[in-house]
Amino acid sequence: MSEKILLAHGSGGRLTHDLVREIFLPHLSNPFIEPLDDSARLVSQGGPMAFTTDSYVVNPIFFPGGDIGKLAVCGTINDLSMVGAVPSYLSLSFIIEEGLSVEDLKRVLFSIRDSSKQAGVCVVTGDTKVVEHGAADQLFLNTAGIGWIREGIHLSGLNARKGDRVLLSGYLGDHEVAVLSQREGFEFEGNLMSDCAPLSDLVGKMLEACPSVRCLRDPTRGGLATTLNEIALMSHVGIVIEEERIPVKETVRGICELLGLDPLYLANEGKLVAICPPAEAERLLEVMKNHSQGRAAEVIGRVTEENPGRVSLHTGIGGHRILDMLAGAQYPRIC
Amino acid sequence: MKFIDEFRDKEIAQGLIQRIRAISSRPIQLMEVCGTHTVAFFRYGIRGMLPAHVRLISGPGCPVCVTPNRDIDLAVALSRRKGLIIAIFGDMMRVPGSTSSLQKEKAEGGDIRIITSSLEALQIARENPGKEVVFFAIGFETTSPTIAVALLQSKREHIRNLYFLNSQKRIPSTIRTLLQAERIQIDGFILPGHVSTIIGSEPYQFISSEFNLPAVITGFEPLDILQGVWMLARQIEEKRASLEIQYKRVVHEKGNPVAISKIDEAFERDGALWRGLGWIPDSGYGFREALKDRDARNLEVEVEPSKEHPGCLCGEILQGIKAPTDCSLFKRGCSPENPIGPCMVSLEGTCATYFKYL
């Protein structure tokens, strides 16, 4: 095997064969992918199925707390989890810029293997293309995922009702700031890590304890503010949140102050927002706090009848303002 | 967070609001000159906390917004020149010129690079000795020292391929012009603390001595701003007109002498063209004689005739004569995603701020 990925590795010929056999399969081996037929044969688990896809172009591909591989697995697992599905199968496609080192590709595969194992999903099919230098930036990934929705669970952004509580599973902005910190010109010191993680287990525990949860969302690009706006619009309700109750780490706050960013708009890759009936909020919060992915969870606000489609924020000094969707800001590629 | 949380204390904030309510008895109009203040007023919800009769007017203090079409059109024309690199601060990317923007030119293949520090322009020039590099140098007195250092350093290092498209602005003379025009009633000024960190308080003396108006040099944290408003309200009620410094932990009367001397070494005071306000004497900088060979305006390119969008009110909004909500394009065709005027582009532009928070 050469040390760099060449155009010929994507040609479909012998080098492609070697790449799949020597690099990919040892990390992804499972009974579904093994025969290497044109499609994987899957086993239905009954009931309604969830299906989702996402592409990953993060720059740089390695960042504190994760890399593009972990992100691609967790991102799709989390999208499945947010509709109450148990994630089962993933597809995985690589678009590789020629010249990527095989060592880097292996590192990405290690974390794909580890993250999928952690969440109990199998990568059952995949594809590799290699493009000329400059036609892609090192490595782009696409994953699609299939899961089966738990019985009796119906989660949707359409479900929020007046009086419901809004819960957030932990600190905002860790992912975006961790990625930013690695970019040229922003070499911050500190030990901040991306929060990139599969949320499937946390969601399982939450739904087991409180099947009446109305809506789950992971606030990725556009951050908490954008996610809440989407829910407010879909459910035609207002949402009021309390700035003081929103967990943000000191490091993230500091960097936000320095760069003029607002943590409420920063991307997260291992956090969720839950909307639940008021009577369930306390129990749900307890379940979240007892889980490693939800230690810093908080009830951050409530759903109102007034101002449908709008989100407002009570500021720390006792003021009040509208919290709009992310608009027009220039963000680097973060996922 | 140290040095931040102290200035966002809820109880003290509420106390200051009470004091403002107690002292301020009649309708007043205060101009916050700087876009950073406009954003802070909205972001912390201060507008809604103040008594309804304290009216805030946004001023011309957004460097992207006041850059005239003429200069954007010139940058666009330069970006079409083969082998030329344009270095800009991010916000300038999306500002529409007469018919194009740098963002559009980048999509067409123009080599346009976003930088976060003036010294990065110097680095790009060092790394690309075979290409011309033009740094679109915009900003107020807060940015000028860094532009001056980049300019002086390029001379010292004999970097021949770096040019400066100089569109810098100075705040004090612009305030004088606004006051002389008498198109708007202003009862007091909230002046930007960071500008005075560089230039000190002295250049603003005329506001009180010649125009008999109170002015307070104010910081950007919620308590700074509330204290600044209270100091203005107190002056107005006591019928005083002085220049006061609220932001004393940073601002000194004489400013920052090192920064001032760098500006002075690189530039001489000159008039400048402002969008919406026209040519204002003594409101910008020109190159010192020995540095004139670095002026990007010497590069020969054909520039299209400049024209403004007929419905855009940015010019009047920058002077505080109109509010964004008075503009027929606001939220109807003009939005941060699709800006027609520059005030909708910059994160600290008045229209973008109103769009986001109102």
Residues A140 and A175 in one domain: no
Considering only residues A265 and B1, tell me which one the structure prediction assigns the higher pLDDT.
Answer: A265
Indicate if A128 and A206 belong to the same structural domain.
no
- Could you give the CA distance from residue A262 to residue A253 in angstroms, rounded to a whole number? 8
Question: Which DSSP helix (H) or strand (E) runs through B220?
Answer: none
Q: Which of B188, B279, B267 is nearest to B229 (CA)?
A: B188
Q: What is the mean pLDDT of residues A196-216?
A: 97
Q: What is the mean pLDDT of residues A283-310?
A: 97
Q: Which of A79, A86, A92 is closest to A30 using CA atoms?
A: A92
% of residues, chain B, pLDDT over 90: 82
Asked if B356 lies within 8 A of A324 by C-beta distance, the reply is yes
Q: Which three-class secondary structure state does DSSP give residue B287?
A: strand
pTM: 0.87
Question: What local confidence, expressed as pLDDT, does residue B307 receive?
Answer: 87
> In chain B, what residues touch A240 (CB-CB under 8 Å)?
none
Taking residues A280-308, report their average pLDDT: 97
Residues A169 and A145 both lie in one domain: no
Assess contact for A278 and A288: CB atoms under 8 A: no
Residue B234 phi, psi dihedral angles, 5° rounding: -65, -45
Task: Assign B196 to helix, strand or coil.
Answer: helix
Q: What is the mean pLDDT of residues A309-326?
A: 92
- For a pLDDT cut of 90, what percent of chain A falls above it? 79
Q: Is A329 on the interface with B (CB under 8 A)?
A: yes
- Kindly tell me if the per-residue pLDDT of A187 is higher than 80: no
- Most A-contacting residue of B12, B54, B62, B356 (CB-CB within 10 A), to test interface: B356
Same domain? A128 vs A197: no
Position B234 scores a pLDDT of 97
B5-62+171-245 domain in CATH 3.40.50.11750?
yes
- Least Cα distance to B352 among B333, B330, B322, B332 occurs for B330
Q: Does B109 touch chain A (CB under 8 A)?
A: no
Average pLDDT over residues A179-199: 84
Q: Which of A201-205, A257-261, A302-306, B12-16 has the lowest mean pLDDT?
A: A257-261
Q: Would you say residue A334 has pLDDT above 70?
A: no
Q: Is A103 at the interface with chain B, CB within 8 A? A: no
CA angle B2, B4, B9 (to 5 degrees): 110
Same domain assignment for residues A124 and A214? no
Exposed (0-12), middle (13-18) or buried (19+): which is B67, by Cβ within 10 Å? buried
Q: Which residues contact A201 (CB under 8 A, 6 or more apart)?
A: A119, A291, A293
Answer whether residue A142 is part of any domain.
yes
Q: Is the peptide bond before A60 cis (omega within 30 degrees of 0)?
A: yes
Residue A253: inside a domain: yes
Beta-carbon contacts of B79 under 8 Å, excluding residues fewer than 6 positions away, are: B86, B102, B105, B106, B110, B111, B112
In CATH, what number is assigned to the domain containing residue A203? Answer: 3.90.650.10
Residue A167 is given by DSSP the state E
A10-19: long-range contacts (C-beta < 8 A, 24 or more apart)? A10/A96, A10/A128, A10/A129, A10/A130, A10/A131, A11/A130, A16/A128, A19/A128
Q: Are A319 and B14 in contact (CB under 8 A)?
A: no
Domain boundary among the residues A149, A176, A201 is at A149
At residue B151, the 3 state secondary structure works out as helix
Contact B94 A185 (CB under 8 A): no
Give the residue-averaged pLDDT of B159-180: 95
CA distances from B182 to B27, B280, B284, B321 (A): 19, 15, 22, 10
Alpha-helix runs per DSSP H in chain A: 14-18, 25-28, 68-81, 102-119, 174-180, 200-209, 223-235, 250-259, 281-289
For the cut 90, the answer to whether the pLDDT of residue A259 exceeds it is no
pLDDT at A327: 67
Dist CA B148 CA B342 (whole Å): 25
* Residue A333 touches chain B, beta carbons under 8 Å: no
Contact A217, A230 (CB under 8 A): yes
* Whether residue A112 is found in the same domain as residue A210: no
Quote the Cα angle for B101-B167-B146, to 5°. Answer: 110
A27 is in which domain, residue-wise?
Answer: 7-149
Percent of chain A with pLDDT over 70: 96
Phi-psi category of residue B241: left, alpha or beta, with phi > 0 → left and psi -120 to 50 → alpha: beta
Of B286, B274, B253, nearest to B148 by C-alpha is B286
**Longest C-alpha distance within chain B, in Å?**
66
Q: Judging by DSSP bridges, how do beta strands B267-274 and B278-287 pair with one another?
A: antiparallel
Residue B252 sits at φ, ψ, to 5 deg, of -115, 155
A14 has pLDDT over 60: yes
3-state secondary structure A79-110: HHHCCCEEEEEEEEEEEEECCCEHHHHHHHHH
How many angstroms separate the CA of residue B337 from the nearest CA in chain A? 5
Where in chain B do CATH 3.40.50.11740 domains reside? 69-168+256-298
CA distance A225 to B353: 16
Q: At what angle do helices A68-81 and A102-119 cross, to 10 degrees?
A: 30
Q: Does A327 touch chain B (CB under 8 A)?
A: yes
The C-alpha atoms of residue B195 and residue B37 are separated, in whole angstroms, by: 12
Model confidence pLDDT, tens digit, residues A111-159: 999 999 999 999 999 999 999 999 999 999 999 999 999 999 999 999 9
Q: Does residue B216 contact residue B244 with C-beta atoms inside 8 Å?
A: yes
For residue B136, the Cα-to-chain-centroid distance in whole angstroms is: 15
Of the candidates A257, A320, A327, which has its C-beta nearest B356's C-beta? A327
| Residue A331 domain-assigned (yes or no) | no
What does R_g of chain A's alpha carbons equal in angstroms? 21
- The predicted model gives B133-148 an average pLDDT of 96
Report in angstroms the alpha-carbon separations of A181 from A74, A186, B120: 21, 5, 18
B15 touches chain A (CB under 8 A): no
* Residues A206 and A313 both lie in one domain: yes
A258: contact with B, CB 8 A cutoff: no
Please give the helix or strand (H or E) that residue A131 lies within, else none: strand A122-131
Of A149, A182, A212, the domain-final residue: A149
Same domain, A179 and A125: no
Confirm or reject contact between B14 and chain A (CB < 8 A). Answer: yes
Reported as a single tens digit per residue, the pLDDT across B184-232 is 899 999 999 999 999 999 999 999 999 999 999 999 999 999 999 999 9
Number of cross-chain residue pairs from A and B with Cβ atoms under 8 Å apart: 75
Q: Say if A330 falls within a structural domain.
A: no
Task: Give the distance, in angstroms, between the CA of residue B146 and the centroid of all CA atoms in the same chain.
Answer: 15
Do A140 and A242 share a structural domain?
Answer: no
Please check whether residues A205 and A113 belong to one and the same domain: no
Q: Which of A250, A254, A328 sits opposite B337 (nearest CB)?
A: A328
Position A191 confidence tier, pLDDT thresholds 50, 70, 90: confident
Assign B14 a pLDDT band (cuts: 50, 70, 90). Answer: very high
SS3 at position B28 = strand
Determine, yes or no, domain membership for A115: yes
CATH number where A100 lies: 3.30.1330.10
The secondary element (H helix, E strand) that includes residue B238 is none
Interface of A with B in 259-288 (CB under 8 A): 260, 262
Is A213 found in the same domain as A141? no
- In the predicted structure, residue B332 carries a pLDDT above the cut 60: yes
Measured distance CA(B174)–CA(B260) in Å, rounded: 19
Q: Taking all residues of chain B, what is their mean pLDDT, rounded to a whole number?
A: 94
Residue that finishes a domain, picked among A149, A177, A194? A149
Q: Reply yes or no on whether the pLDDT at A333 is more than 80.
A: no
Q: Of all residues in chain B, what percent carry a pLDDT higher than 70?
A: 100
Helices B350-357 and B35-43, packing angle to 10 deg: 10
Least-confidence region, from A30-39, A198-207, B22-31, B80-89: A30-39
Residue A327 lies in a domain: no
Edge-to-edge strands of the sheet including B132-139?
Answer: B111-115, B84-89, B132-139, B162-168
Q: What is the total count of domains within chain A?
A: 2
3-state secondary structure A261-323: CCHHHCCCCCCCEEEECHHHHHHHHHHHHCCHHHCCCEEEEEEECCCCCCEEEECCCCCEEEC
* A154 within domain boundaries: no
Helices B222-237 and B10-23 meet at what angle, rounded to 10?
10
Q: Please report the ipTM that was assigned to this predicted complex.
A: 0.80
Q: Between B45, B345, B347, which is nearest A260 by CB?
A: B347
The answer for residues whose C-beta is within 8 angstroms of residue B286's C-beta and 6 or more apart is B166, B267, B268, B269, B270
In angstroms and rounded to an integer, the radius of gyration of the C-alpha atoms of chain B is 21
Question: SS3 for B124?
Answer: helix
B1 touches chain A (CB under 8 A): yes
pLDDT of residue A331: 54
pLDDT of residue A335: 54
Q: Report CB contact under 8 Å: B44, A329.
A: no
User: pLDDT value at position B17?
Assistant: 96
Cross-chain residue pair B49–A319, CB shorter than 8 Å: yes
Q: How many CB atoms lie within 10 A of CB A275?
A: 28
pLDDT of residue A28: 87
| Domain B69-168+256-298 in this protein, CATH class | alpha beta
> CATH 3.40.50.11750 occupies which residues in chain B?
5-62+171-245
Min distance B46 CA to chain A CA atoms (Å)? 6
Tell me the average pLDDT across B52-81.
94
